[in-house]
Structure 1
Amino acid sequence: MAATDILEQKPTCEDRQSTTVQRCPAIVSPRTKNKGRRGKKSPGCRSSCSNTEGNVPNHMRLKARRFTEGSDILKLPLLSSTVSVPRRRVGLLDAVRPANVETEKSRFMRANYNYNPLFFYNYPAAQTVLERFSKPSDNYLDQAITIMENALKRFGTYENFEARTGGKRLTRGEIMTIVKRCFKREKLQNGEVIINLSDDLLSRASMTQSRGRPTLNINVNTSRQFWLEGVARHEIGTHYLRSYNNRLQPWTGGKGRRQYGLLSVNPTEEGLASLHSVLYRRHPFLWRAALLYYTAYRASQMSFSNLFKDLGRFVRDPYVRWDYVLRAKRGQVDTSLPGCFCKDQVYLEGALEILRHRKDINFHNLMRMGKVSWRDLGRLQEHMQTDGTRIPSFMDNLDQYRKLLDYIVMANGLSDDQASGV
């Protein structure tokens, strides 16, 4: 039985007879709170209420009494039975993706945004992992606001910005045509990368491994005419090609990285990819990276509902706002509390670092060396393997490439000093 079924289905008579782990009465819903069962634990309570072992985290039990019985919108789903979920290793982004997103999204919208979702997770991330991404930075907060305000001065609203810079929404067939054209431009062999079109990604696109094969996942709902090639430059021209080149280097793998003492690759990796997303746009605003940075920082101070309202100064569309707030609040159970998942700040941090040092970075080496920080380029150069490595087509002419980076700085209303963090 899926975890979503556990929260939404009532047990049949057969279920009651066959289920060995009973409902934990410590989980109180508005329907049962006055029936005198509070505090009594069933034999299966310990395992089913565990924050890491079972479906229902402890925080959810504590919050069930918050809502009044007068509003159907705010009622929590009644837990009819609990089936323990086996431990399973999943990637971080899968672990922090709530299992009940659509249910809570519906409640939130119907409550006129005056509701803080309660999320649960099929395979929750360890608390130590979540704590690593719970302390956002404000070093680039002023720059993030400057970037968004410049875009609003130019387009008036985010919705106008999206319509004029993104173009029309694409069909699945149109998406496949554009992506295959990008594959051909980067000289990918047939079947080298699988294309997976999805309706429920939290991001616009991502690179993953599926049965050992590189897979480009694309969110159909956010794919637009003028943005999709930027998505391909981000995922294929940056992430995939750097990953491909990395396998040819002596520092490939965890042991190799430790041997060479490599710095964290994330700021460089995601910053470079963010720049490539907007590289050929007429208006190359780093809007998305800036809003992700801002949202993560504010999430550490606000509830889900208050953060949603705060973003109204930049974005009117409630569904776009939901997506941004969800990214910043993922990993949390009780979103009425301040807290954030600040991993998304790396996009703006990395992009501004690269722009600050764009005149000094050897971008061909940055691609050929694979998954390395730009700060490691000098000391790794003598160990670099170049045979068989690839660089993306848009980086063939480095003079033109650097001019495009200069234009990104100017278009976003930044100076070289502003590209430097506090």
Structure 2
Amino acid sequence: MNAVNSSTKALLKIDNRIDELVKKIELLSYVNPTNIETEKEKFFSSKYLTDPVFTYPSINFDRFKLHRELFAQPIEQIEDLEIRQLYEDIIYAYSGLIACIETIGEGKKFYYNSLHSFGTPTEADVENAKFILHFKGEDAHDEQFLPKYRTEETQEKFREYSTRYDFSYHIKLSDKMSAIAMVLNNIQTLVINKNHVFSENEIEVLTNHEIGVHMVTAINGMLHPLKIFSHGFPNYEETQEGLAVFSEYMSNNLTVNRLKELAYRVIAVDGLAKGYSFSRTFRELHNQYDLDRETAFYITLRAHRGGGFTKDYLYLSGLKKVYNYYKQGKDLKLLLTGKISLSYLNSIASLHDKGLSVPAKHITDSYLQNKNSNKTIEYILDNLK
């Protein structure tokens, strides 16, 4: 028993130390350019020929020291082999993210580190994207898609939606982001793009996506004895984004247009592997796929920021995996316990058996009942490879 106790003590100590170290590694805080709007204007003025030159926030931690301290953790003191392997994977995963951060803006160097951390679309992913693009989207002039809510009203809508959850969080405004809203897990903060005017549909999508999943799992993750649930299992991004888009589906807010947006992201990330420049990716989306230039610019920006950020293809593959999981009648609550990955469910079950994890306290509101009434969406999801 003493051996078990000492092993558990060692595990908790290592987990706490890793948590202290990785709190500094919020990749999205560093990979979003600080001069998006000015570079966009220059790019449009150049008739889409001159690639933007982006600048990025400075890094406020010692990268070498962080690598060294991560690998100095005495994981051999963890006697349970499965849990020891998990923490070895965790250390390698976070070291990979540090490598991403330290090479932001360095072209191919960042791209290869991004590949290592997030992978790249498979042939099936690209085929799924092209399959989706064959479907006719909703009329963009429908009332629900028209820009309507400015920052103050948008904040109010988020606050109103959040009353269904028993937790609080911070809201911050930013004009230096490629997304229109995002959650920073480590400080439980929703960041809203103050340059954007939000439509009714965007509000519905983002409340369910950002608060209903990203914030729910961030808060749930903090309730475990182990901090790994809040700072994230290896490769958790695919499961997280899949859960978040799945919440849009369950709340009847997932549209063909939204699926097409996720498909365009796959196409843009696939272009990185082909060596496409920013301007070539943009022209493919704008000319070949007939996307308006603002949308084409931001999808291209998301893929090319940092030097080639491959994470964006994971939304579609994650959605398909979570949708299949749901269709198999499996328990979605397990996936809400924190920033977890489908590929580590056995390890999570093992942690639960040992009293090192707890059930999800907060449950995504849309998961309680499937309200999707869109047969086209159903057909698409059922037929993705």
Normalising by the residue count of structure 2, what TM-score does the alignment of the two structures yield? Answer: 0.69
The change in CA–CA distance for 1:388 and 1:99 in structure 2 (over 3 A counts) is: closer
**2:361 aligned with 1:389:** yes
The residue correspondences of 1:271-290 to structure 2 (distance < 5 A) are 271-281=242-252, 284-285=255-256, 286-290=259-263
Residue 176 of structure 2 corresponds to 200
The change in CA–CA distance for 1:148 and 1:252 in structure 2 (over 3 A counts) is: same
Aligned length in residues: 302
User: How far off its partner does 1:174 sit?
Assistant: 2.1
Out of 267, 271, 284, the residue aligned to residue 294 of structure 1 is 267
Residue 365 of structure 1 corresponds to 334
User: How far off its partner does 1:386 sit?
Assistant: 4.4
Residue 318 of structure 2 corresponds to 350
**Residue by residue, what CA displacement relative to the aligned partner does 1:99-155 show, whole Å, maximum 9, x if unpaired?**
4333322221111112122334343732365422146223311111222321xx244
Checking the alignment, whether the CA contact within 8 Å between 2:230 and 2:338 is kept in structure 1 is: no
Checking the alignment, whether the CA contact within 8 Å between 1:98 and 1:330 is kept in structure 2 is: yes
Checking the alignment, whether the CA contact within 8 Å between 2:151 and 2:197 is kept in structure 1 is: no
**Residue by residue, what CA displacement relative to the aligned partner does 1:4-44 show, whole Å, maximum 9, x if unpaired?**
xxxxxxxxxxxxxxxxxxxxxxxxxxxxxxxxxxxxxxxxx
**2:134 aligned with 1:149:** yes
**2:113 aligned with 1:132:** yes
Higher RCO structure, 1 or 2 (CA under 8 Å, sep 6+): 2
Checking the alignment, whether the CA contact within 8 Å between 2:282 and 2:296 is kept in structure 1 is: yes
Runs of 4+ in structure 1 over 4 Å off: 162-165, 254-257, 385-388, 407-410
Residue 177 of structure 1 corresponds to 156
Q: What is the rounded CA distance, in whole Å, between the counterparts of 1:200 and 1:223 in structure 2?
A: 17
Q: What is the rounded CA distance, in whole Å, between the counterparts of 2:314 and 2:229 in structure 1?
A: 21
Give 3-state SS (helix, strand or coil) of 1:137's partner.
Answer: coil
Q: What is the rounded CA distance, in whole Å, between the counterparts of 2:114 and 2:318 in structure 1?
A: 16
Give 3-state SS (helix, strand or coil) of 1:197's partner.
Answer: strand
Question: Percent of counterpart pairs with the same letter?
Answer: 24
The residue correspondences of 1:227-238 to structure 2 (distance < 5 A) are 227-238=202-213
Q: What is the rounded CA distance, in whole Å, between the counterparts of 1:264 and 1:112 in structure 2?
A: 38
Q: What is the rounded CA distance, in whole Å, between the counterparts of 1:256 and 1:229 in structure 2?
A: 27
Q: Could you tell me which amino acid in structure 1 is paired with residue 131 of structure 2? A: T
**2:217 aligned with 1:242:** yes
User: How far off its partner does 1:91 sit?
Assistant: 3.3
Q: Could you tell me which amino acid in structure 2 is paired with residue 140 of structure 1? A: D
Q: Which runs of 5+ in 1 are unaligned?
A: 1-88, 333-339
The change in CA–CA distance for 1:293 and 1:409 in structure 2 (over 3 A counts) is: farther
**Residue by residue, what CA displacement relative to the aligned partner does 1:40-87 show, whole Å, maximum 9, x if unpaired?**
xxxxxxxxxxxxxxxxxxxxxxxxxxxxxxxxxxxxxxxxxxxxxxxx
Residue 119 of structure 1 corresponds to 54
Give 3-state SS (helix, strand or coil) of 1:306's partner.
Answer: helix
User: How far off its partner does 1:319 sit?
Assistant: 1.6
When structure 1 is superposed on structure 2, of 301-310 and 98-107 the one drifting more is 98-107
Normalising by the residue count of structure 1, what TM-score does the alignment of the two structures yield? Answer: 0.63
User: How far off its partner does 1:391 sit?
Assistant: 0.8
Q: What is the rounded CA distance, in whole Å, between the counterparts of 1:254 and 1:176 in structure 2?
A: 28
User: How far off its partner does 1:383 sit?
Assistant: 4.2
The change in CA–CA distance for 1:208 and 1:263 in structure 2 (over 3 A counts) is: closer
Out of 234, 237, 248, the residue aligned to residue 266 of structure 1 is 237
The change in CA–CA distance for 1:392 and 1:316 in structure 2 (over 3 A counts) is: closer
Give 3-state SS (helix, strand or coil) of 2:188's partner.
Answer: strand
Q: Which runs of 5+ in 2 are unaligned?
A: 1-23, 60-100, 104-108
C-alpha RMSD of the superposition: 3.0
Larger gyration radius, structure 1 or structure 2: 1
The change in CA–CA distance for 1:364 and 1:306 in structure 2 (over 3 A counts) is: same
Checking the alignment, whether the CA contact within 8 Å between 1:239 and 1:273 is kept in structure 2 is: yes
Give 3-state SS (helix, strand or coil) of 2:51's partner.
Answer: coil
Q: What is the rounded CA distance, in whole Å, between the counterparts of 1:104 and 1:307 in structure 2?
A: 16
Checking the alignment, whether the CA contact within 8 Å between 1:279 and 1:408 is kept in structure 2 is: no
